[in-house]
């Protein structure tokens, strides 16, 4: 039998041919600020309780887990508040799987998904994986998205599903409730607000969760990866009308959330205050990045996330490689003259800022460091 030697030798679906999988560099470096992780460790007392929950769960892994992950849905509803109950909640292995299930249920052949580029690169990949047509809509200046622009793009493209990233990734741009409401009113399809970074918004900022009553086609997606420092646990969830959860049950795999995942998430949610204690510090480091990058002559965009996109980078690839040479990994997101950096701990942020300041002095032709940054 002839040996298959490459992807091109396989009878791949037509809409997947020539595509590349999602992937950020996975490199072992002293300072990794490239994938918007929460770089703070899980508090020791919380880690002990999570381990205790896992130890208890492991005793019964010979049996399938609770298919309805009832305790987790109840805990997530309590965490979100806004009058939500377990019936409003769905969860999966990371918010990417939640979004994939949404597309499996409401997308597919002959249906389309509208997003507003530049935005989270997984949206188009998930669309391809579910054979849903991806439509890249436009944004306003500085990557903002006004109600008028959102409605105009929806009317122009007539999508079956709309994804709104709030705040937007990779730009960090906030999204107003007025834009979300206008987008919802402009379509008869599903509207998903991806609030992966919602906890990093200014204190008191209302969530799209407040818009859920009376809007049965509105879904608000969240994750425990970012603010909860739980990226490795892979727990994402959404809040919506109970009928949405019924729809997602049609496409989920049996027992898709393991007993260990459920146990770890339940233990973490029981300590939500401790798990979120580092959010204020991350906001502070994010705001510090905005101020100091501007002082260094770059053009950082306003951000309500745990990262900062900054322009004014003459040679993004060279700057990326130079920082990597100093053990600092950030992200080239493919936007001309821009790079993106995660807000890390105070020490990590200092190491990044010191390194990029040195590059401004010596490695970026035509660039000078303003006196106040010396």
From CA 231, how far away is CA 233, in angstroms rounded?
6
Give the per-residue pLDDT at 3.
Answer: 64
Match 């892979």 to its residue by tokens.
Answer: 234
SS3 for 155? helix
From CA 374, how far away is CA 368, in angstroms rounded?
11
pLDDT tens-digit readout, 11-61: 888 888 888 887 666 778 999 999 999 999 999 999 999 999 999 999 999
Q: What is the pTM assigned to this prediction?
A: 0.92
Statement: residue 363 has pLDDT above 60:
no
Greatest distance between any 2 Cα atoms in the chain: 69
Looking at per-residue pLDDT, the higher value among 28 and 89 belongs to 89
Give the per-residue pLDDT at 87.
Answer: 98
Mean pLDDT of 3-15: 80
SS3 for 217? coil
Mean pLDDT of 339-364: 87
Strand boundaries in the chain, DSSP class E: 31-32, 89-92, 112-116, 133-137, 161-165, 190-194, 218-223, 236-239, 299-300, 307-311, 328-329, 339-342
How far, CA to CA in Å, does 110 sit from each of 67, 163, 188, 191? Answer: 31, 17, 16, 18
Mean pLDDT of 225-247: 97
Mean pLDDT of 274-296: 95
Partner residues linked to 238 by β-bridges: 90, 221
* Residue of 117, 186, 173 whose CA lies nearest to 147: 186
Statement: residue 303 has pLDDT above 50:
yes
What is the number of other CB atoms lying within 10 angstroms of the CB of residue 56?
12
Statement: residue 369 has pLDDT above 70:
no
Statement: residue 370 has pLDDT above 90:
no
**62, 255 in Cβ contact below 8 A?**
no
Looking only at the bridges linking them, the beta strands covering 89-92 and 307-311 are: unpaired
pLDDT tens-digit readout, 115-146: 999 999 999 999 999 999 999 999 999 999 99
Mean pLDDT of 323-334: 96
Between CA 206 and CA 300, with CA 293 as vertex, the angle to 5 degrees is 45
Domains of the chain in start order, with CATH, are 24-40+278-373 (3.90.1150.10), 44-272 (3.40.640.10)
**323, 359 in Cβ contact below 8 A?**
yes
Mean pLDDT of 67-82: 98
Statement: residue 371 has pLDDT above 50:
no
Give the per-residue pLDDT at 198.
Answer: 97
* Residue of 296, 327, 329 whose CA lies nearest to 313: 296
Structure tokens at 181: 């409401």
Structure tokens at 362: 């010596």
What is the number of other CB atoms lying within 10 angstroms of the CB of residue 295?
16
What does pLDDT average to over the chain? 93
Structure tokens at 208: 């799209």
Mean pLDDT of 218-243: 97
Give the per-residue pLDDT at 9.
Answer: 81
Give the per-residue pLDDT at 4.
Answer: 57
Partner residues linked to 91 by β-bridges: 237
Match 């969860």 to its residue by tokens.
Answer: 91
Q: Which residues contact 227 (CB under 8 A, 6 or more apart)?
A: 38, 197, 198, 199, 200, 275, 276, 279, 306
Statement: residue 83 has pLDDT above 50:
yes
**Residue 35 Cα to chain centre, angstroms:** 9
Mean pLDDT of 164-178: 97
Structure tokens at 178: 């007025």
Give the per-residue pLDDT at 28.
Answer: 85
């Amino acid at each position: 039998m002839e040996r298959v030697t490459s992807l091109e030798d396989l009878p791949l679906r037509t809409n997947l041919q020539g595509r590349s999988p999602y992937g950020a560099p996975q490199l072992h470096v002293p300072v990794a600020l490239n994938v918007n992780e929460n770089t703070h460790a899980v508090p020791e007392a919380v880690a002990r309780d999570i381990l205790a929950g896992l130890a208890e769960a492991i005793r019964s892994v010979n049996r399938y887990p609770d298919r309805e992950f009832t305790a987790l849905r109840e805990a997530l509803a309590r965490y979100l508040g806004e009058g939500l109950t377990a019936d409003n909640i769905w969860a999966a292995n990371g918010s990417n799987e939640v979004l994939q299930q949404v597309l499996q249920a409401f997308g597919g052949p002959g249906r389309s998904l509208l997003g507003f580029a530049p935005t989270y690169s997984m949206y188009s990949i998930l669309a391809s994986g579910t054979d849903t047509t991806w439509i890249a809509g436009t944004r306003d200046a500085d990557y903002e998205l006004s109600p008028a622009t959102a409605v105009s793009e929806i009317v122009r493209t007539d999508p079956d599903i709309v994804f709104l990233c709030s705040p937007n990734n990779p730009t960090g741009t906030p999204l107003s409730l007025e834009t979300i409401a206008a987008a919802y009113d402009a379509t008869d399809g599903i509207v998903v607000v991806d609030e992966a970074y919602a906890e990093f918004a200014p204190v008191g900022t209302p969530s799209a969760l407040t818009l859920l009553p009376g809007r049965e086609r509105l879904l608000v997606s969240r994750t425990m990866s970012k603010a909860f420092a739980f990226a490795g646990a892979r727990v994402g969830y959404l809040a919506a009308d109970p009928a949405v959860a019924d729809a997602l049950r049609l496409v989920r795999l049996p027992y898709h959330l393991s007993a260990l995942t459920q146990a770890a998430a339940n233990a973490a949610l029981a300590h939500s205050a401790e798990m979120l204690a580092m959010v204020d510090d991350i906001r502070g480091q994010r705001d510090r990045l905005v101020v100091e990058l501007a002082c260094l002559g770059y053009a950082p965009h306003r951000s309500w996330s745990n990262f900062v996109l900054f322009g004014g980078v003459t040679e993004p690839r060279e700057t990326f490689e130079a920082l990597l040479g100093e053990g600092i990994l950030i992200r080239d997101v493919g936007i001309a003259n821009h790079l993106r950096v995660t807000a890390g701990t105070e020490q990590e942020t200092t190491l990044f800022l010191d390194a990029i300041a040195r590059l401004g002095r010596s490695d970026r032709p035509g660039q000078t460091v303003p006196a106040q940054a010396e």
